[in-house]
Structure 1
């Protein structure tokens, strides 16, 4: 049965009067609106502006529904400490005494009542206050609160759409998604390839869900008294991304009845809209707003059928040989050194259609290639799981062209063709463990399955899946909390979290002076890569290109002033970004869902600095007229007519400091789109969370099969590594079951 598309909702307009729905008081909202206005203030149009640019200059983030949507996101998704901090500050700013404490003399006037609260201070002075907050070394809590508000304010302002899928700023900044709409028209009547195995909770009721699952070949028993829906199968896989999709396919093809639990929803090419705001909200963990507890790291992770493979940037790079050697020799994991793993990589690349060339590159990759060639640096093509003609710059919102081969169009199709069932909108809560009498399989406990719940309010069943084997493939951010909440005690669970921290450099290439073609959001997201080498030819970092819609661009770009920020956004379409990625030696932890702790190692900071400097050199070499970093003080330099000494001095000023909570006037926010290692595999319980077969050291028949298995960071885009590792682990599981 063809389902009505539930994704291409064109956004919504909010009435400003609906203040009782976002959780903040009217006084807090007044302060929030005043801060939003200071971030993006209404300004006089420039004399040479066109109509759309004039409207943009005059617009303000305090207008329309922006502050109310910011408040909703804060209440719904901010970690509790951040929400409390922000609400306290907003409340203080609504009072005269609180404003005096936080804003100093700028709130004092010569007329009664002599002290203004924040919203009654002039816009010019409010901007000065915000600038003071950002520059002060010891006002870090206020700095963090402002950063949260700034990020959400500009995110909503530039990504929200009306019922027609439009944003009034896009024409001014040169952003257009209409071409993607036309490309996707051919998919309107195509079949959804997973329908034969799909049960979508959003379309089910309490009474229909058991029947739908039974019709897919599962054994289902209802216990109305305890409100439990019991499902029996051979294997349950939690998560459907790079790890879970592969595991489900391998297990199902071996003859096992497999159930995949996925908390996200199922979409196909015809469902995607390429609209940044709605897409991020539906396809990403926490709607793309996730961050580390201290606010130093912005984190992106997929949350949909296909997981990260549905929204990643297509890069399909094999595990570097030096990484495999490290895992085999230092970590004693024989799986990674020999034909088994290499054959798995070959098979994975074939199944997801990896190609090595690109027939046409977009603006950002043109700049990377040209800059490297002009400087005599090596630049390589990036293999992608798509055709060489794939020119989609919106794959991070789901590929509307249907060219990118994520697990939802490959491995999961193989799985359902062999009888697997996928239940969406269903979140695993804990594993069902019991004492393992006689320590069969050498473990204290044995896993009997998993307890889960529907994320749809109209389904009241508690779901209990009883399975011979249970496989957690929820990803490096969610597998550890799930294991810990189930009562597992291994000290390595949740530790050793690697994030591939990313810093960005940017360069402005106006049409009038550059021969590079296109706009920054057009073309394949990553088609070229440069390796930054040390003196002994070891890779210190890699330089690639990111996908940045207007909302993401604005969120990450440093704010120095309202006018300066608007000027930056007007250059959006021809501003090229490079990312520098490192193989981080330092690590963090995630013990509880949504609470990531991470600190950069000193060596990591030096490698990030080396990568960032090289990225800037390449941008200058490609012909940028201005380049800069995302350092909080708006660090940048004009390139035209600049002397070599000035450029050298600028590059020497590059440094990598902590994020907004560091006690420094200048700081840089890092990002992460790759998370791994938090349940790493190993040869002993003392140094790892699971064994060489991916099985928990504490609970028999409980396996991990996702990026959390990886012993260390790998330093390159990890999709091929995750899928190849999952393939090997899943094969070992089927072999062990066959031998019993």
Structure 2
């Protein structure tokens, strides 16, 4: 893989990743292997399996491939053990064990396990593939047993994900040629990019340190370090410690460092630059996303993506740089009593943030999916807007969500954090905050925060890092900030509540590469990620927020396979053959519903009826856009494979199909279900006028502890309704500017 040997690099092969699968017994593993084979079995190639005029050897091999082959079942078992909720793991184990017995198979599979010879009941792994397929089909839509639906979704998703994400030592997956997927993995020719690590002079990467070298590296960065063997600590002193380097943390670090404060940034992820990124889906998600991008809510209804690397979400997001909508600013100011959002100061912050991120509006060339969105809207006479991005107008990278290999996307890792390091800030990577240091306080609040204790993910560094500071800022995002506050003993009743996620569902349209669709050039994974958008407007008063926002998703073949409806082994293979010419549109709503963060693996969430109505309206509009763009076939991601071949259909037939489409619940709630996805988390430590209304005040300071600030998306009082990068950074800018003024006056001296 590219990158310098002395620095962290993204893996191209997962052979060096191992799981301890002792939690799965041999009999349970037999059942798991049999399920994987039924989900993705070897099948004979029929003449109608491929709609092109040729069948090559790669397609023949693709149809003969099976998910029962190692390492796929082992990877599925490993992820369940290491990343799954305890209840889900127990449930999966019970089901796998039952399937390893005849009686259990009868209980879970019914008459499909009957045989003609004694003892007349066949255990699951001995059933022919077609019967196992039928059983999984029954599980997917089981009317009464929601746990079977949930386990089906879990195993199906993991199995198909690993089928298309695992790569060999040559960074290749044998299925990619058949599905016409060619990730850009070659080394860039830009030598300036190759040699540049813009944060080098301020980075201390604990993953690659020893106990002795760590002290030396920290002192070389002008930090005061004292070893405390009695308490097993390295004590580090600074003015400001910031936990997290993403949207909020990067901005705060730059402003406070430029104001003359000695700033230390803690980041649990590692530092990667353009030359380290591989554009490979599996390894990239594993390294750059929290829990490898596999964060389901407790009921499996929502899959959450959150960045976990230097730069946080800005290193892996989709570049959209939309300002906070005026109706939202008015609502936050009027209804929530937060004057900041109605102030000229906030609008000036948005302007400054946009300049620093190099935001442009326009696009030299659009990718395939955005061409589809634009063409469909124009043919329907609908407004379609060019999306502002924190990149140049010529930026055509289709894999920026695996890290931008061109350095064109202006995340905090190449903007605000560079400013911070140039002003003397130090970034300590591979280090996870454990708890805040709180003391009793006789001033405004009952407690005072004097720093944070963190632990390196490097097992060779046994001592914790105790960073003592005048001011502590939690910027670790809406999933982790509430957990840090709760683990430190803070008790504000709003901590962890009010989680908003901008729930999204997708629809798809297939556009064959020949015929009338030839003008829509390119492939689904190529081009700028989001360059066009359509707002589904309200029927009510002018100036209100739209009911939904329709954009295009960045989605690799493994993630797509995991989300695709599964009807049979043959069907999923036929779907994947169309991957490169299947355009996806996602519908995002500004949710009134909310969730709660309880632990890293326990996040609850539910939508309101209004959310579902808005989602339904958006899904139906998106399908009409696909039809207007010339799709041969359209469909949703509902588990029963809801779809329609458009050619030859009357207007009445099309309207009947679209009328049948509606927003569904997740697998635990309904027989017909679809999963929501989200990459936006907001509100779990919201601002409020009082401690009863929020976790922090309008300045971002905790109502419970002096010197403790929150500076990330968790402070937003409700959902933004658009991609929130500019909103989070503008809010962080205002908080950090005010804090810098207060520190200059000596307000937070120890």
**What TM-score results when the alignment is normalised by the length of structure 2?**
0.96
Check 1:184–1:159 CA distance in 2 against 1; reply closer, same or farther (3 A cut): farther
Per-residue CA deviations over 1:467-501 (Å, capped at 9, x if unaligned) read: 00000000000000110111111111111100000
Check 1:165–1:188 CA distance in 2 against 1; reply closer, same or farther (3 A cut): farther
Residue 196 (structure 1) aligned with residue 229 (structure 2):
no
In the alignment, which residue of structure 2 is the partner of 1:521? 525
Given candidates 144, 153, 167, the residue that maps to 2:150 is: 144
What aligned pairs does 1:220-259 form with structure 2 within 5 A after superposition?
220-259=225-264
Contact kept in structure 1, 2:193 and 2:407, CA below 8 Å: no
Given candidates 429, 432, 437, the residue that maps to 1:427 is: 432
Distance 1:398 1:158 in 2: 19
Distance 2:242 2:659 in 1: 50
Cα deviation, residue 617, structure 1: 0.5
Per-residue CA deviations over 1:553-576 (Å, capped at 9, x if unaligned) read: 101111111111110000000000
Distance 1:233 1:630 in 2: 50
In the alignment, which residue of structure 2 is the partner of 1:448? 450
In the alignment, which residue of structure 2 is the partner of 1:378? 383
Distance 1:696 1:50 in 2: 62
In the alignment, which residue of structure 1 is the partner of 2:539? 535
Distance 1:129 1:14 in 2: 35
In the alignment, which residue of structure 2 is the partner of 1:512? 514
Distance 1:542 1:118 in 2: 45
Contact kept in structure 2, 1:681 and 1:711, CA below 8 Å: yes
In the alignment, which residue of structure 2 is the partner of 1:213? 218
Distance 1:184 1:718 in 2: 33
Using the TM superposition, name which of 676-685 and 584-593 deviates more: 584-593
Using the TM superposition, name which of 519-528 and 679-688 deviates more: 679-688
In the alignment, which residue of structure 1 is the partner of 2:59? 53
Distance 2:155 2:600 in 1: 23
Cα deviation, residue 725, structure 1: 0.3
Distance 2:30 2:237 in 1: 54
Contact kept in structure 1, 2:367 and 2:523, CA below 8 Å: yes
Given candidates 554, 558, 568, the residue that maps to 1:547 is: 554
Contact kept in structure 2, 1:449 and 1:470, CA below 8 Å: yes
In the alignment, which residue of structure 2 is the partner of 1:129? 135
In the alignment, which residue of structure 2 is the partner of 1:465? 467
Distance 2:57 2:661 in 1: 39
- The ranges of structure 1 where at least 4 consecutive aligned residues each deviate by more than 6 angstroms after the TM superposition are none
Check 1:331–1:20 CA distance in 2 against 1; reply closer, same or farther (3 A cut): closer
Check 1:184–1:585 CA distance in 2 against 1; reply closer, same or farther (3 A cut): farther
Cα deviation, residue 249, structure 1: 0.5
Distance 2:634 2:130 in 1: 28
Contact kept in structure 1, 2:20 and 2:78, CA below 8 Å: no
**What TM-score results when the alignment is normalised by the length of structure 1?**
0.97
SS at match of 1:172: coil
Per-residue CA deviations over 1:197-244 (Å, capped at 9, x if unaligned) read: 000011101111112111101111001222111111000000000000
Per-residue CA deviations over 1:437-466 (Å, capped at 9, x if unaligned) read: x2x1x1000001111111111111111111
In the alignment, which residue of structure 1 is the partner of 2:614? 607
Distance 2:98 2:189 in 1: 49
Per-residue CA deviations over 1:66-91 (Å, capped at 9, x if unaligned) read: 10111111111111111111111111
Distance 2:591 2:231 in 1: 48
Cα deviation, residue 14, structure 1: 8.7
Distance 1:735 1:111 in 2: 83
Per-residue CA deviations over 1:579-616 (Å, capped at 9, x if unaligned) read: 10111011111032231100011100000011111100
Given candidates 575, 580, 586, the residue that maps to 1:573 is: 580
Given candidates 639, 644, 651, the residue that maps to 2:651 is: 644
Cα deviation, residue 534, structure 1: 1.7
SS at match of 2:453: strand
Distance 2:646 2:120 in 1: 47
Residue 82 (structure 1) aligned with residue 84 (structure 2):
no
Cα deviation, residue 184, structure 1: 5.8
In the alignment, which residue of structure 2 is the partner of 1:174? 180
Cα deviation, residue 512, structure 1: 1.3
What aligned pairs does 1:615-626 form with structure 2 within 5 A after superposition?
615-626=622-633
Check 1:580–1:22 CA distance in 2 against 1; reply closer, same or farther (3 A cut): farther
In the alignment, which residue of structure 2 is the partner of 1:40? 40
In the alignment, which residue of structure 1 is the partner of 2:505? 503
Given candidates 720, 733, 739, the residue that maps to 1:733 is: 739
Residue 697 (structure 1) aligned with residue 703 (structure 2):
yes
Contact kept in structure 2, 1:22 and 1:68, CA below 8 Å: no
Contact kept in structure 1, 2:194 and 2:274, CA below 8 Å: no
In the alignment, which residue of structure 2 is the partner of 1:298? 303
